[in-house]
Copies of this chain bind each other. A is one copy, B any other.
Amino acid sequence: MTDTVTAILDAAEERIRGAGYHGFSFRDIAADVGVKASSVHYHFPAKEKLAAAVARRYTDRFVEAVNAQVAEGTDVVEAWRRVFRAALQRDGRMCLCGALAATSHELAEEIRAEVKRFFELGIETLRQGGLERAAAIRVLAALEGAMLTANILEDQSVFEAGSSALVA
């Protein structure tokens, strides 16, 4: 993957997490990266493809980070909480898949499938950690909701409060 492609994905991820799918343009991304909009189209022929690629990379990285925590002996629920917290504190932004899921009604099928994958993989890894399906859903919902609420209230301690019931 070239530097430009990485930079495009980085810029698109940041903008989607701040303003949603309809909240960014190819010209925005191009300006962020330092190329022209047509060059962004060269790598990602359509906006849907770009958003889908961003969601896929985000999910892969997220799940990998969780698995790394679990491999080190961290409880699976605590692992998910830590990676969510890191995403909030590092970037001060919403979860990418949460931001996209909030407008899932009008989302292109290709993108929705990637966002769905994030939640389904989440449920799957939590179940592999020994949780029932309902409990797994509860963990993901609480974390997404805590992140959402912390963002709008502009107070990261809200994330801690919102997710505190998950701690064993």
Interface residues of A (CB under 8 A from B): 17-23, 93-94, 97-99, 101-106, 112, 115-116, 119-120, 133-134, 137-138, 140-146, 148-149, 151-153, 158, 161-165
Answer whether A148 and B102 are a contact pair too, CB < 8 Å, given A22-B22, A141-B162. yes
Contacting pair A138 B161 (CB below 8 A): yes
**Complex: how many Å from CA A19 to CA B102?**
8
Q: How many copies does the complex hold?
A: 2
Q: Can you list 27 A-B pairs with a CB-CB distance of less than 8 A?
A: A17-B105, A18-B103, A19-B22, A19-B103, A19-B105, A94-B104, A94-B105, A101-B152, A102-B102, A102-B151, A112-B152, A115-B152, A119-B149, A134-B164, A137-B158, A138-B162, A138-B165, A141-B145, A141-B148, A141-B162, A142-B142, A142-B145, A144-B144, A144-B145, A145-B145, A148-B148, A165-B165
**Complex: how many Å from CA A76 to CA B20?**
32
Nearest-CB residue, chain B, relative to A146? B141
Contacting pair B20 A152 (CB below 8 A): no
**Complex: how many Å from CA A138 to CA B120?**
23
